[in-house]
Amino acid sequence: MAKKGKGGAAAMAVGGRKSKAGANRLLVTVALLALIPFSLPTMLLLFAGMLPSLVAALTDRSSSRFAWICVGGLNFAGLSPAVLNLWFGHHEITYALRQVTSVPVMLMAYVAAAAGWALYWVAPPIVMTIMAATSKRRATSLHAQLKKIEEEWGKEVQSKAAMSAASDDL
């Protein structure tokens, strides 16, 4: 019976923590909802400018999900001057609409997103080529070392090393 009482007290403490976390989550949600009218110009500009990132996130079916990271990072970099102008200039809905309908602003954001797609498609083959060349150079170096050791110690070193490695695998 005493153990059940302690378990019940522990359960109450855990339940108390859950309700406190729920209250904190509710407080944060209410605070964010209260900030929506103040951040509406920013949200409008970000939504219109970050559409390529949304498309990348929705269409990327790979397990690594690197497409939206490449596209989103460069897309945000292309949009950041407009967002900073909005924040430190006129943070009004009319100015945000002017930014969204501005061809240079959207062109810079979308060209940066296109650069993100290019990076996503071009970088893996380049990295693979570099890694293959590095591996080939390393294999050549190891083969040269093996020949040098064989000359110094004889062919039996290689056979003993192979037998030792085979017994280690077992």
**How many domains are contained in the chain?**
1
Q: Is residue 121 part of a domain?
A: yes
Spatial contact of 82 and 109, defined as CB atoms under 8 Å apart: yes
> What is the predicted pLDDT for the residue at 156?
72
Domain span at residue 109 reads 39-126
Question: What gap in Å lies between CA 106 and CA 111, rounded to an integer?
Answer: 8
0.75 surpassed by pTM: no
Query: Does a structural domain hold residue 145?
Result: no
Classify residue 43: in a domain, yes or no. yes
C-alpha angle 118-119-125 in degrees, rounded to nearest 5: 100
For the ranges 15-19, 29-33, 67-71, 87-91, the lowest mean pLDDT is seen at: 15-19
pLDDT (average), residues 142-148: 88
Asked, for residue 12, whether it belongs to a domain, the answer is no
Q: For the packed helices 2-49 and 103-153, what is the interaxial angle rounded to 10 degrees?
A: 120
DSSP class of residue 102 equals -
Predicted local confidence at residue 146, as pLDDT: 84
Which has more pLDDT, 85 or 152?
A: 85
Between 79 and 11, the higher pLDDT residue: 79
- In-domain check, residue 138: no
Residue 53 covered by a domain: yes
pLDDT of 105:
96
Percent of the chain with pLDDT over 70: 81
Taking the C-alpha atoms of residue 62 and residue 28, their distance in angstroms, rounded to an integer, is: 33
Which tokens hold the place of 101? 């309908």
